Structure 1
Amino acid sequence: MACEWTKLWSVRSAWLCLVAGLAVTAVFTFYYASIARINEQAVQPVGNAAAGSVVVSQFAVVVLATVAVTSEYATGTVRASLLWVPRRHRVQAAKALVTGVVAFLGGAGFAVVGTVVAWMAFDGRASFAAGTTVGQILAIGGYQALVAVLTVGVAFASRHPAGALSILVALLWALPSVLPGLGGDALAAVNDALPYGAGDHFTRVGGHAPYSSATAVLIVVGWTAVAHVAGLYVLRRRDA
């Protein structure tokens, strides 16, 4: 874990991803709150703006976690990592844990910034309750952490940044964007079973979720576990 932490912060990409995530969150939440104010929408929890921004800010975490894995394959340094730690599941677990912790802290930071920006932009069209807001901030951080671990699994399975990003963009953005627009209960149910669909249900307050927040968390955890197992299978079966 100490080695993975050092490797993660020894390159600029980690910092750049987090800065990009903050910038995207600030812009998105300002836009979200401004539209709600202009259209005179019903008053909603201020944390919903930060929850809505996750659809874009999650890709800062995706890129960070993808680079943490695929950069070693690109440079060949993965061979050294596996020589130092021959038990490969430990390498993957360390990467998942380190990127997960960074993503949780980064995601929570994104949510704090987004909440502050949105509160000013809502201009009275939002409500603030300390318990609800803190809960949403922690939920967003937890979702981002799960996305990071899911990404590590996909990156180990694909070993190439383009392949990993293609899978994750489809899973976390393209399908959730297309399925609701096509209509139909069946497609809506599929969307609710996807990682972002479930994540949106437990980070946003006041929606009409088809299941409880606990079930939504379990759905995201399930996707994360499947990705982790797939990545571990490839890591163990193929040469570095």
Structure 2
Amino acid sequence: MSRIAPSTPARVVTRALPQAVAAEWVKAWSVRSTWWCLACAVVLGVLAAATLAGANATDAVREGGAVRIPASEAVVSATSLLSLDAFGHLVVLPPGEVALDLLRTGVYFALVGVMTVGAGVAMRSAAGTLSVVFMLLMGLPLLLSMTGTGLAVEASLRMPMFAELAFMDSADDLTGGPIPYSAGEGLAWLLAWTAAAMAAGLTVLHRRDA
């Protein structure tokens, strides 16, 4: 009788990964917390959009004309279902730019999700993962930029927060001046940070579970 060669770890992972993803997908959509989180996200999104749209419409009334908002302002773009109709076309958002903005937003959230997975595998702690990801995305970039020193500011501009603003082609001026690189380079920095987080996670996984 011929012996069956044992499966290599790579083959085992290749077969097990789709099954694990399918199991996690079923688990995520079969618990109430997922639906509650989605419902809360929708409600908060609508309230935020209405608030921002109302504020921009108020500014338009004061200025005596329509206000054209760049669709690259990701948060303000959420007003495009609300501001055009509910506020008498005082706030204008170009549909083509909004579509591109939504696509970029989706790419950014996907990368942040993968980045968080890498950090979670490395940290092995929910609280630790949330703390690290928060500091990486917001806390550390803002702290570095507030120092005002050249090297610290340059480092902060290459972190995910400002890389995302560059990728979104945003006009937000959080550093006292425009972000000194293009949307393409912003995407490259986001990919680099995501790859670094996944590499850290894989390194810890191999060392602990080898």
Length-normalised TM-score, structure 1? 0.62
- Identity across matched positions, percent: 33
Does the 8 Å CA contact 2:56/2:91 hold for their aligned counterparts? no
Please name the residue that 2:184 is paired with: 214
Does the 8 Å CA contact 1:46/1:115 hold for their aligned counterparts? no
Aligned equivalents of 1:185 and 1:126: distance in 2?
38
Please name the residue that 1:29 is paired with: 49
Aligned equivalents of 1:153 and 1:19: distance in 2?
27
Letter in 2 for 1:230: A
Larger mean Cα displacement after TM superposition, 162-171 or 27-36: 27-36
1:52 is the counterpart of 2:75: yes
Which one has a larger percent helix, Structure 1 or Structure 2?
Answer: 1
Aligned equivalents of 1:165 and 1:125: distance in 2?
40
Displacement of 1:199:
1.0
Displacement of 1:170:
1.2
Mapping 1:64-83, distance limit 5 Å: none
- Residues 37-77 of structure 1: CA distance to partner in whole angstroms, max 9, x if unpaired? 445586322552xx137xxxxxxxxxxxxxxxxxxxxxxxx
Length-normalised TM-score, structure 2? 0.70
SS of the residue corresponding to residue 45 of structure 1 reads coil
Aligned equivalents of 1:174 and 1:167: distance in 2?
9
Please name the residue that 1:9 is paired with: 29
How many residues were matched structurally? 180
Displacement of 1:182:
4.6
- Residues 139-161 of structure 1: CA distance to partner in whole angstroms, max 9, x if unpaired? 00110011110011111111111
Displacement of 1:7:
2.8
Match for 1:235 among 187, 195, 205? 205
Which is greater in Rg?
2
Superposition CA RMSD, Å = 3.0
1:141 is the counterpart of 2:141: no
Aligned equivalents of 1:178 and 1:23: distance in 2?
31
Aligned equivalents of 1:3 and 1:45: distance in 2?
41
Displacement of 1:35:
3.6
Please name the residue that 1:226 is paired with: 196
- Structure 1, unaligned stretches of length 5 or more? 54-110
Match for 2:135 among 157, 164, 170? 170
Letter in 1 for 2:116: T
SS of the residue corresponding to residue 5 of structure 1 reads helix
Aligned equivalents of 2:88 and 2:137: distance in 1?
31
Please name the residue that 1:196 is paired with: 161
SS of the residue corresponding to residue 75 of structure 2 reads helix
Aligned equivalents of 1:4 and 1:21: distance in 2?
21
Does the 8 Å CA contact 1:153/1:229 hold for their aligned counterparts? yes
Structure having greater relative contact order (Cα 8 Å, sep ≥ 6): 1
